[in-house]
Structure 1
Amino acid sequence: MDWVNPSRENFDLFKSLPRDEPVHLLNMIRFRGAALYSEGHPCAGLGWSGERAFEEYFTRVVPFIERLGGGIAWQGTFESMITGPAQFEWDKVFVMGFPTAGAFLALVTDPEYKAEVVDHRTAAVQDSRLVRYRPA
């Protein structure tokens, strides 16, 4: 099964945890070969790859995150597997930090984010994991 958006159960669990504490969100993304925009979307006919659509998403989402006091805590470029299967299944891995879980909830419920940003992520992503951690 591929995951693009959270299940209701997982999102409800996230919302039940403390909202006033800092969080780090581990993001693991596998891109679609070709971006899958809905018919009529301005980017639908551009022939973008999933990776290119995610670049568009990232460019648009980072200013929202920064306005909420968050930012990238870590990102890197995969080089080789040391322990585990030789084939690494994720195209992009990064950790986004937020000053509170409530700030993340403010992001995903922001009407402008929902109208102008999230569709690029949906078009780009074939499979993903988003994991909440409490910073140590």
Structure 2
Amino acid sequence: MPALQPTADQFRSFRDDPHDGPIAQVNLLKYRVRAAYAPGDPEYGADESGAAAYQRYVDAFTIAAAEVGGICLLHSNVERFFIGAGDWDAVLVMHFPSRAAFMGSLGHGDYVAMTRHREAGLLCQELIVTRPVTADL
């Protein structure tokens, strides 16, 4: 089932996890063919790709993440599936020094404004939270 937001249980489980070390998030992204901004949004009716709308979100979120110590490690288009089959357009990998830092990025003053680009650009995504075993940052 396509998803854009965590369920309430997924959010609580993430928020309440006692692990206080670094986390990395692997986002598997499927873009809309055309961006779908909500009526009343200044971008409503713009003729652009979902990928272009989502890129505006990545640009803004990377700045918000940096303010709490986060970093964008990778934002890349999928070239092909070498093993297995999938239907993802791109991958985004974010690293945060702690769970609290990631939660802080969600509380950024511009977060609501930037998420309109995310919602307009994405059809669905999978977001996998990891606890890095090794990281060369």
Q: Would you call these one fold, judging by a TM-score over 0.5?
A: yes
Q: Count matched residues.
A: 133
1:34 maps to: 34
The runs of 5 or more residues in structure 2 that have no matched partner are: none
1:97 match: secondary structure: strand
RMSD between superposed Cα atoms in Å: 1.5
Deviation at 1:75, TM superposition (A): 4.1
Distance 1:34 1:112 in 2: 24
Distance 2:93 2:122 in 1: 17
Distance 2:19 2:99 in 1: 5
> Which structure 1 residue ranges, 4+ long, deviate > 2 Å from structure 2?
73-82, 109-112
User: Match of 2:24, as an amino acid?
Assistant: H
Q: How does 1:1-136 map to 2 (within 5 A)?
A: 1-18=1-18, 20-85=20-85, 88-114=86-112, 116-136=113-133
- Work out whether residues 64 and 108 of structure 2, in 8 Å CA contact, stay in contact via their aligned partners in 1: no
User: Match of 2:99, as an amino acid?
Assistant: A
Identity %: 29
Deviation at 1:18, TM superposition (A): 2.5
Deviation at 1:21, TM superposition (A): 1.6
2:110 match: secondary structure: helix
TM-score of the superposed pair, with normalisation by structure 1: 0.90
1:103 match: secondary structure: helix
Deviation at 1:16, TM superposition (A): 1.4
TM-score of the superposed pair, with normalisation by structure 2: 0.89
